[in-house]
């Protein structure tokens, strides 16, 4: 089975520019996550989708970050405008769903997009 | 609220030596605990997880971890390190909302 796909793998932009990342989850996975991983830190959840609905976006900086999963499959994460502190790896993950006890459904991670803001 | 603490940022062992990576957790509800590994330029891969039941959990690649409630710990071990184990390791927990909270990670180096 194909894994989680992300593109681009690397992106370099100037501050105040816009950028978008794309994620294609594992086929049939209802839940999709976007994480931000700053160098030297663990991943931090930005937003969680269940199908095309948002479950948790409490840590998403909504003044500059937006995400959508219109058809419940692919997802895009956008930053507009970017700041220096947005330099990080953006990881997408997917899981079968949210049924069962916490952690029952394993999250599968993509390779990430490394963003550098100059 | 859930959190995990991974003390130190780097561990170095010789090939064939014991690997011990420490993780302590804080949780207001019975914890569900995880260890992930991240190889360079790759996403995270689940090594093992503790949900309920047996407190000694075996994972992939010869790793195991023991849940100790009295010590609020979930340390990761491997009896004999291999060069291919060099990577970054993350401990994580989740509460009732299934949201993963990660530690800051530990880089494991393996010397020949």
* Residue B33, min C-alpha distance to chain A (Å): 8
Residue A17 at interface with chain B, using a CB cutoff of 8 Å: no
- Nearest residue on chain B to A49, alpha-carbon basis: B99
Backbone angles phi, psi at B85, to 5 degrees: -80, -10
Which span out of A88-97, A98-107, B94-103 was modeled with the highest average pLDDT?
Answer: A88-97
Residue B90 CA to residue B20 CA, distance in Å, equals 13
Which residues, including other chains, have CB under 8 Å from residue B82's CB and lie 6 or more apart? B15, B110
Q: Which of B90, B100, B108 is nearest to B6 (CA)?
A: B90
The two structure tokens encoding residue B36: 């992930």
Query: In chain A, which residue ranges form alpha helices assigned H by DSSP?
Result: none
Lowest mean pLDDT among A1-10, A50-59, A103-112, B62-71: A103-112
Mean pLDDT within B48-72: 92
Closest-CA residue in chain A for B33? A103
pLDDT over 80 (residue A91): yes
Name the DSSP class of B79: S
Mean pLDDT of chain A: 92
CB neighbourhood size of B28 (10 A): 9
Interval B75-104: pLDDT, tens: 999 999 999 999 999 999 887 667 889 999
Element (H, E) at A1: none
């Amino acid at each position: 089975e194909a894994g989680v796909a992300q593109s681009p793998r690397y992106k370099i932009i100037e501050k105040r520019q816009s950028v978008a990342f794309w994620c294609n989850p594992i086929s049939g996975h209802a839940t999709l996550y976007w994480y931000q991983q700053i160098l030297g830190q663990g991943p931090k959840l930005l937003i969680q989708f269940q199908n095309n609905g948002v479950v948790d976006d409490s840590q998403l900086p909504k003044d500059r970050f937006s995400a959508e999963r219109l058809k419940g499959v692919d997802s895009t994460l956008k930053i507009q405008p970017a700041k220096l502190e947005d330099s990080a790896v953006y990881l997408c993950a997917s899981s079968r769903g949210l049924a069962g006890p916490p952690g029952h459904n394993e999250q599968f991670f993509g390779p990430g997009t490394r963003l550098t803001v100059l | 609220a859930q959190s995990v603490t991974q003390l130190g940022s780097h561990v170095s062992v010789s090939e064939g030596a014991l690997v011990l990576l420490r993780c302590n957790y804080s949780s207001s509800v019975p914890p569900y605990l995880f260890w992930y590994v991240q190889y360079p330029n790759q996403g995270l891969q689940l090594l093992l997880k503790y949900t309920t039941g047996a407190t000694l959990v075996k994972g992939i690649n010869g790793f195991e971890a023991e849940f100790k409630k009295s010590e609020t710990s979930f340390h990761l071990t491997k009896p004999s390190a291999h060069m291919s184990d060099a990577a970054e390791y993350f401990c994580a927990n989740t509460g009732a909302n299934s949201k993963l909270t990660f530690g800051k990670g530990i880089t494991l180096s393996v010397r020949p």
